[in-house]
Structure 1
Amino acid sequence: MARGIYVSAMTQGAGLNLVSLGLADSLYKRADRIGFFRPITPASSPAEDSMVALMRSSFGLTEATARAGMTARDARALLIAGERDEIDARSVALFGEIARECDIVLVEGTNLSGQDAAVEFDLNSRLANNLGCHVVGVVSGRGRTIDEAADAVDVARRSLQAENVSILAMLVNRVEPPDVDAVMAAIRPGSTRRPVYVIPEIPSLGLPSVVEMQKTLGLAPVTGPEGPARDISGVKVASMEGGNFLSVLDDGNLVIVSGDRSDAILAATASAMTPQFPVPSAMILTNGLTPNPLVTRLLTHAAFPVFVTAADTFTTTRAVVQVQGELSTGQPRKVAAALGAWHRRVDGSELLARLDLPRPEKMTPLRFLHGLIERARSQRRHIVLPEGTDPRILHAAEILHRRDVCDLTLLGSEAEARDVAAREGVDLSGITVIDPATSELRERFAEEYARLRAHKGVDVARAREVMLDGSYFGTMMVQLGEVDGMVSGAAHTTANTIRPALEFVKTRPDVRIVSSVFFMLLADRVLVYGDCAVNPEPDEEQLADIALASAQTAEQFGVDPKVAMLSYSTGGSGAGGAVDAVRRATELVRSARPDLAVEGPIQYDAAVNASVAASKLPGSTVAGQATVFVFPDLNTGNNTYKAVQQSSGAVAVGPVLQGLRKPVNDLSRGCTVEDIVNTVAITAIQGQGDTAPATD
């Protein structure tokens, strides 16, 4: 049977959702098949459990491997009837069904609540033993002094030991951030001498989002933008004249106002349209009223969503303040913040090493992408994003910062960036914004650019103008070591992104050209395709260069390189200029790297299909099992990657530029926030490698 980890609350308000999510993220990288089980759900039915839904969406779990058991109401009825064994029996049966599909099952117990706390603790302990699970005990540090938190850990340990459960780890969650180190120091070692992890309180997790508020209250939308969820920082009722109301309005406030109060409605709407004024998170029009048609037309341009309710202002306000933010609703910014806190404070490798889990055999798309984040986080790097006023860049930057992936600098007008961020509900706290036009770095960068491009007639005056361009300014930050890499292209062409790097970052000494690869994430493995984005018609030496660079990129990202030099002919079966060029390129690769498994010319079917390979190239170490595919030209490569992506459902990550001395990567202008997050993580990983010394 699969191993199990039982996350058990040891005090009220322990914040189990964060611990479950963090544990699952750590487990996902160390086991092929994980499961999630909530024996008792607080939802009205097992099918409506939001934490189960979050686990399914975050880790690709299915209905068979992520499930909830009975409702809290049903469990209470069984306890009252004296049928505790029935709770155990049902839970063991469901756990067994999940375990048959998994290597390890994460079980989340109930949150201790009120007068039932003692009963729930006993129930969780019994279930942990009956399911054969190790226990992660979670103590809340919220509202406790440093000594009280340390004492709570002692009490929790003794309580679990009295129930003869197997303690895997103890955590103190929701500690005031300034007290984290002091709590760590105050905790006394237990008999096992295992570390106790301390996680700070994350205020944003408790803030309700506009989406949560709308869903809870069942509000009808009137107008306004849709998009990533905004947090509600506070509630303001417009009970005064519009101008006076502005004096008490803060960024992120939810505005509640009667639908006939045009003055206050106009004031809040204008505020969001004016730089340096606060931007509300949303507005609720009460009493079932909407403003006159002209004001309603203006609301269509509001930078925040507007809702209407038939309830009066007092009733609406009372209902709104009762809405609680929940991590389990799966809002990306909350998930990012939770995972960032977990990985900053918990050594997942140490914790899970005690379980001796089997090594994962498959590389699923989700596991590969999760691995990018983990590797980027392991050696923190600094990445610059020149398009600092693009909403997608801002949303991605917030997620990257909350997940603690890397340090970030945005380029652009700080006032404009913060204005767009406020309109989009993005928190830029902890993220640096630099305006090239006013930065003290501009003069130094201009002097360096003029020095490097003097042979092209560039003087300092011209260089100052060039450094107003975010791509040039950001690339110079990379060149001079101010940052470790750059990602651009969400709002600019590939040429605009690459040109500065070609001018002065230049290629590595052993590389002739800059090229690119896509990581093609199939259901159970990762393939590398190059070059699908940069070089239209590479000659044989350039093809060899692309193959060597692609193999190096594959190795850097954990793909064992077996290189297929693609053509319309396999082996010696065909002839012609194009085939001969691939054949010569293959020999160049073998000469440069005798240790590298490479085959060419080879057709795609012989490269991927073992039975075809057996007939066309028997005995080849690459045919039928290639992982790196080098296309003869851009036309073939670009069309092939898109055909595979569309027909097989593969996830294409890239293009990833290779061959430069320092990492610079390009985005598609149609990129999503997730694409940006992945590309920044890749760039940070590239920045962890050795870089060649700078040359003129």
Structure 2
Amino acid sequence: MSRTIMLIPIGAGVGVTSVSLGMVRAMERQGVAVNFFKPIAQPRSGDTGPERSTATLRNGSSINPPEPFAMKYAENLISSGNKSELLENIVERFQKITKDSDVIIVEGLVPTDKHQFANEINYSIAKALGAEMVFVTHPSNDSSQQLKERMEIAVSSFGGKKNKRIVGCIINKVGAPIDETDSNSPDMNEMFDIPLAGTQTNLEVLQMFSKSPLPILGCIPWSAELIAPRVQDLAIHLEAKVLNKGDIEHRRLHSVTFCARTIPNMVQHFKAGSMLVTSGDRSDVIIAACLAVMNGMKIGCLLLTGDYPPEEEVMKLCHRAMESGLPILLIKSNTWQTAQRLQNFNMEIPVNDVERIEKVQEYIAGHIDKHWLNTLTEDSSLTRRLSPPAFRYHLTELARKANQRIVLPEGEEPRTIQAALICAQRGIAKPVLLGNPDEIHRIATQQGIVLTDDVEIINPNDVLENYVAPMVELRKAKGLTEVVAREQLQDPVVLGTMMLAENEVAGLVSGAVHTTANTIRPAMQLIKTAPGANIISSIFFMLLPDQVLVYGDCAINPDPTAEQLADIAIQSADSAIAFGIDPKVAMISYSTGNSGAGSDVEKVREATKIAQDRRPDLLIDGPLQYDAAVMENVAKSKAPDSKVAGQATVFIFPDLNTGNTTYKAVQRSADLISIGPMLQGVRKPVNDLSRGALVDDIVYTIALTAIQATQAQEKELEVKQIAEKA
């Protein structure tokens, strides 16, 4: 039996769409089959596109919510006394999405001057759908007592305290800056000169936990990071002419500075993520800003006012800054008019801003009460699949428990620095950056971040000598000398690998600027294979829209033998189990079953038999063509008796050529995230990154490595205990 949760906003500006996003993500994290329904569209002023909540959920998750009814249609039925017809139509549309869902999140209407009937309709819809009601509010300028009274009024409008379907409330935007008009003021320096009339403190809101007439199911702190718009969003709002596109689609703005002073008094405001607003004829400001960019400062954009395009000679001087990605915009209005227009900028998430949608979902999902979330599916009998959000959440939770020290040899690489800070802040790992401390802090400042003491920095020059003798000892059979060892340790990857070999760290992540060979070769030479492992192999976690698949081996072994292929299959199945994926292993070939012949397919057939004999506890089948492994209708005709065909979760490719090509084709064609390659069979975890890795890719690879480290330690202890008993 599915559960229906209706989110009912108590007043305008509470962020109910953001809470809906977070609720859906929280359900996905639990592996729950979730869907979303907005019964009636409520377009904002100026909206011309699709209904925001529904379109945003489509772009931010794997679900496909039904379209809401138009507000005009609803208003016509309500005004003509046909509210019952409206409710029947809503129930009919709602029923179509309940069949395969554990939980349905329903978003109610926001009470506004224009839609004063919102509360009445919300209550009617909740009763018609049999929904449990959760109120969504924000503290505004209220004291905890005033907020309590506001909640009590809301409860009385929805059946009072005796209504058992009112289950609690979610308080959003805690600590948000509030202007004197009681509106949320965006955190953009110097954009507005409005004093904060009263910023709600966390302490004040925490008092609600003892006073609240309802259980508080979530208390979500306000975050400036979540409202940072893209440069292109401001460009569209201001109807700006783009003089230089740069990274306009991805660069985000965290502050706005009006450059009306002399250069010496302005440079301190040239910050990462800042939009610098100046008259187009201020060549001094333009050149100074571009110099800052060429020195590594990631300024958000230049906005030139007054319809004064810069002179051609000035643009030539700024060519290198523009090539580095600096967007430059030109508008007709003057600086005062621009300030007024910026005040009217809509800070809501654009429906196509997938990156920001993802951040909001993850952030809010992390502040919803976990115990309450677990109660929503206690009686569910529906099968759960490990969705990408559930997998990523599973990774971070396991990594937090592991609490491992992970070395990052590419410590001066900007993405790696950001990932290290995220991991430290979220407790995913204890990151160790190798590099010059001054250079690392300089690069961090250019990225607009401040490294905390939780991010450990080690200068390789200070510790290199500590590893010369141990490295010579490890490689003495190969005739390694101190001179050569000292030379090789100049490579931070080799140094990091020696830290791992000496048990000073639990794992290593590299590859953002190094090749796979540079990352893996030192591990093979200094760490060696794990006990019982005959081969080192790799897997990728492929994050499809509704589930996670495992691909192996796509990075290490060019042409494995049948014995090695069987080892890879077993290693990959065990890795899948370790990360919460039910392994159904498909041995991929160009032929299914006995339909084909040839040395290549015979190798896969033999490898399948070896793997099945070694591990009868695993579901392993092959040879299978890819379509037979993944598609149920194809499996029925090509492999009707297979327990793997049509539902495979682990795919083992016959050689590196096939595996690497397939993983990249699927990743790029389907535009999905892949995490890996994760190495298997190494005594201690060493993992490689793609040189095009995003910050999130690095974060999740660090999490994988931390989990592997704990598993390796447990395995080593188990082997030791068995040896002692023997």
For the aligned pair, the TM-score class normalised by the smaller chain equals 0.7 to 0.9
Shift of 1:56: 0.8
Aligned pair in 2 of structure 1 residues 664, 678: CA closer, same or farther (>3 Å)?
same
The 2-side partners of 1:263 and 1:88 are apart by 66
2:586 and 2:648 in contact (8 A); partners too: yes
* 1:245 equivalenced with 2:266 (yes/no): yes
The 1-side partners of 2:273 and 2:669 are apart by 43
The 1-side partners of 2:628 and 2:366 are apart by 46
Question: Could you say which residue in structure 1 is the equivalent of 2:179?
Answer: none
Question: Could you say which residue in structure 2 is the equivalent of 1:299?
Answer: 318
Aligned pair in 2 of structure 1 residues 504, 288: CA closer, same or farther (>3 Å)?
same
Question: Could you say which residue in structure 2 is the equivalent of 1:271?
Answer: 292
Query: What amino acid sits opposite 1:96 in the alignment?
Result: E
The 2-side partners of 1:222 and 1:84 are apart by 53
Counterparts of 1:9-20 in structure 2, within 5 Å, are: 9-20=9-20
The 2-side partners of 1:88 and 1:439 are apart by 77
Aligned pair in 2 of structure 1 residues 246, 167: CA closer, same or farther (>3 Å)?
same
Question: Could you say which residue in structure 1 is the equivalent of 2:656?
Answer: 634
Aligned pair in 2 of structure 1 residues 352, 602: CA closer, same or farther (>3 Å)?
closer
The 1-side partners of 2:250 and 2:657 are apart by 40
TM-score between the two structures when normalised by the length of structure 1: 0.81
Aligned pair in 2 of structure 1 residues 657, 66: CA closer, same or farther (>3 Å)?
farther
Shift of 1:128: 3.0
Aligned pair in 2 of structure 1 residues 395, 437: CA closer, same or farther (>3 Å)?
closer
The 1-side partners of 2:662 and 2:470 are apart by 41
Question: Could you say which residue in structure 2 is the equivalent of 1:310?
Answer: 332
Deviation larger for 562-571 or 137-146: 562-571
Query: What amino acid sits opposite 1:9 in the alignment?
Result: P
Question: Could you say which residue in structure 2 is the equivalent of 1:372?
Answer: 391
The 1-side partners of 2:650 and 2:350 are apart by 39
The 2-side partners of 1:12 and 1:559 are apart by 42
Shift of 1:549: 0.4
Aligned match for 1:133, one of 124, 131, 134: 131
Aligned pair in 2 of structure 1 residues 19, 464: CA closer, same or farther (>3 Å)?
farther
Shift of 1:345: 2.7
1:340 and 1:402 in contact (8 A); partners too: no
Shift of 1:515: 0.4
For the residue of structure 2 that corresponds to 1:341, the secondary structure is: helix
Query: What amino acid sits opposite 2:104 in the alignment?
Result: V
Question: Could you say which residue in structure 2 is the equivalent of 1:47?
Answer: 49
1:570 and 1:600 in contact (8 A); partners too: yes
For the residue of structure 2 that corresponds to 1:162, the secondary structure is: coil
Query: What amino acid sits opposite 1:200 in the alignment?
Result: P
For the residue of structure 2 that corresponds to 1:338, the secondary structure is: helix
* 1:215 equivalenced with 2:236 (yes/no): yes
Question: Could you say which residue in structure 1 is the equivalent of 2:197?
Answer: none
Shift of 1:30: 4.2
For the residue of structure 2 that corresponds to 1:516, the secondary structure is: strand
Question: Could you say which residue in structure 1 is the equivalent of 2:682?
Answer: 660
For the residue of structure 2 that corresponds to 1:97, the secondary structure is: helix
Aligned pair in 2 of structure 1 residues 45, 479: CA closer, same or farther (>3 Å)?
same
The 2-side partners of 1:535 and 1:490 are apart by 21
1:184 and 1:197 in contact (8 A); partners too: no
Shift of 1:255: 1.5
For the residue of structure 2 that corresponds to 1:689, the secondary structure is: helix
Aligned match for 2:459, one of 437, 442, 461: 437
The 2-side partners of 1:280 and 1:616 are apart by 57
* 1:515 equivalenced with 2:513 (yes/no): no
Question: Could you say which residue in structure 1 is the equivalent of 2:185?
Answer: none
Aligned pair in 2 of structure 1 residues 631, 218: CA closer, same or farther (>3 Å)?
same
Shift of 1:343: 3.9
TM-score between the two structures when normalised by the length of structure 2: 0.78
Aligned match for 2:93, one of 97, 107, 130: 97
Q: Could you tell me which runs of 5 or more consecutive residues in structure 2 were left unpaired when the two chains were aligned.
A: 177-199, 720-726
1:513 and 1:542 in contact (8 A); partners too: yes
2:171 and 2:216 in contact (8 A); partners too: no
Deviation larger for 531-540 or 673-682: 673-682
Percent of matched pairs sharing the same residue:
34
Question: Could you say which residue in structure 2 is the equivalent of 1:27?
Answer: 27
For the residue of structure 1 that corresponds to 2:320, the secondary structure is: coil
CA displacement 1:158-193 (0-9 Å, x = unmatched): 55442847223322222239954774465237788x
Aligned pair in 2 of structure 1 residues 663, 145: CA closer, same or farther (>3 Å)?
farther
Query: What amino acid sits opposite 1:128 in the alignment?
Result: A
Counterparts of 1:110-509 in structure 2, within 5 Å, are: 110-112=109-111, 120-145=118-143, 149=147, 153=151, 156-157=154-155, 160-162=158-160, 164=163, 166-176=165-175, 180=202, 183-184=205-206, 186-188=208-210, 194=215, 196-223=217-244, 225-226=246-247, 229-274=250-295, 279-302=298-321, 304-327=326-349, 331=353, 334-348=356-370, 350-351=372-373, 353-354=375-376, 358=380, 361=383, 363=385, 368-379=387-398, 380=400, 381=403, 384-390=407-413, 393=416, 408=431, 410-413=433-436, 427=449, 436-437=458-459, 444=466, 449=471, 452-453=474-475, 455-456=477-478, 466-476=488-498, 478-479=500-501, 484-509=506-531
CA displacement 1:465-495 (0-9 Å, x = unmatched): 5444342344455556665544332322111
The 1-side partners of 2:551 and 2:462 are apart by 41
1:54 and 1:330 in contact (8 A); partners too: yes
CA displacement 1:316-356 (0-9 Å, x = unmatched): 12212432532455645644543443344323463352355
Shift of 1:511: 0.7
Equivalenced residues, count: 682
2:148 and 2:211 in contact (8 A); partners too: no
1:339 and 1:403 in contact (8 A); partners too: no
The 2-side partners of 1:236 and 1:646 are apart by 39
Question: Could you say which residue in structure 1 is the equivalent of 2:554?
Answer: 532
* 1:548 equivalenced with 2:570 (yes/no): yes
Question: Could you say which residue in structure 1 is the equivalent of 2:181?
Answer: none
* 1:57 equivalenced with 2:59 (yes/no): yes
The 2-side partners of 1:368 and 1:680 are apart by 20
CA displacement 1:20-50 (0-9 Å, x = unmatched): 1110102235443512316242434573433
Aligned pair in 2 of structure 1 residues 188, 291: CA closer, same or farther (>3 Å)?
same
Shift of 1:19: 1.4
For the residue of structure 2 that corresponds to 1:511, the secondary structure is: coil
CA displacement 1:410-440 (0-9 Å, x = unmatched): 55455555665666x6646669666553686
Deviation larger for 429-438 or 607-616: 607-616
Deviation larger for 19-28 or 389-398: 389-398
State the Cα RMSD in Å. Answer: 4.5
2:629 and 2:645 in contact (8 A); partners too: yes
CA displacement 1:97-119 (0-9 Å, x = unmatched): 24413434323234455x67976
2:421 and 2:452 in contact (8 A); partners too: no
For the residue of structure 2 that corresponds to 1:7, the secondary structure is: strand
The 2-side partners of 1:259 and 1:534 are apart by 54
The 2-side partners of 1:158 and 1:238 are apart by 52
1:561 and 1:596 in contact (8 A); partners too: yes
Shift of 1:621: 4.7
The 2-side partners of 1:190 and 1:261 are apart by 55
Deviation larger for 643-652 or 351-360: 643-652
2:148 and 2:212 in contact (8 A); partners too: no
Q: Could you tell me which runs of 5 or more consecutive residues in structure 1 were left unpaired when the two chains were aligned.
A: none
CA displacement 1:68-100 (0-9 Å, x = unmatched): 4445xx599779xx8285677546634632441
